[in-house]
Amino acid sequence: MPLWGGGNKCGACGRTVYHTEEVPCDGRSFHRCCFLCMVCRKNEDSTTVAIHDQEIYCKSCYRKTNMEVLRSLESPGTKTVSDVQSVGRVLNQQL
């Protein structure tokens, strides 16, 4: 927290997060409106969140995205796990 005014920076948008709107998660701060699942864009809370590679998912989307990546790795000619930087980015590019 800065010494004089302001607050932490949001892990999603990079703007200042003031105490009244702060959602702390995984050592970072978020605005309530920025704390969204990367896939379905649903607002999250501490009981429904799953984090992978600093990306936020709801638990159901996290399960679905990981299953899709695992299935794609089983088919021939697909990338290895080390080639896929982020599950959310891969899915968002496909949409």
Q: Where do the structural domains in the chain lie, given as residue ranges? A: 7-36, 37-70
The pLDDT of residue 9 is 93
The pLDDT of residue 75 is 54
- Spatial separation of the C-alpha atoms in residues 46 and 58, rounded to whole Å: 10
DSSP designation for 80: P
Q: pTM for this structure?
A: 0.61
Considering Cα of 63, then 14, then 43, then 32, what sign does the dihedral take?
positive
- Ranges of H-type helices in the chain: 59-74, 87-94
Name the residue type at position 65. Answer: T
The pLDDT of residue 17 is 93
CA distances from 51 to 14, 18, 19, 79 (A): 18, 22, 22, 22
The pLDDT of residue 79 is 43
- Please give the average pLDDT of every successive group of 10 residues along the chain, which has 95 residues: 73 91 89 92 86 85 77 52 46 50
Q: Is 54 exposed, middle or buried (0-12, 13-18, 19+ CB in 10 A)?
A: exposed
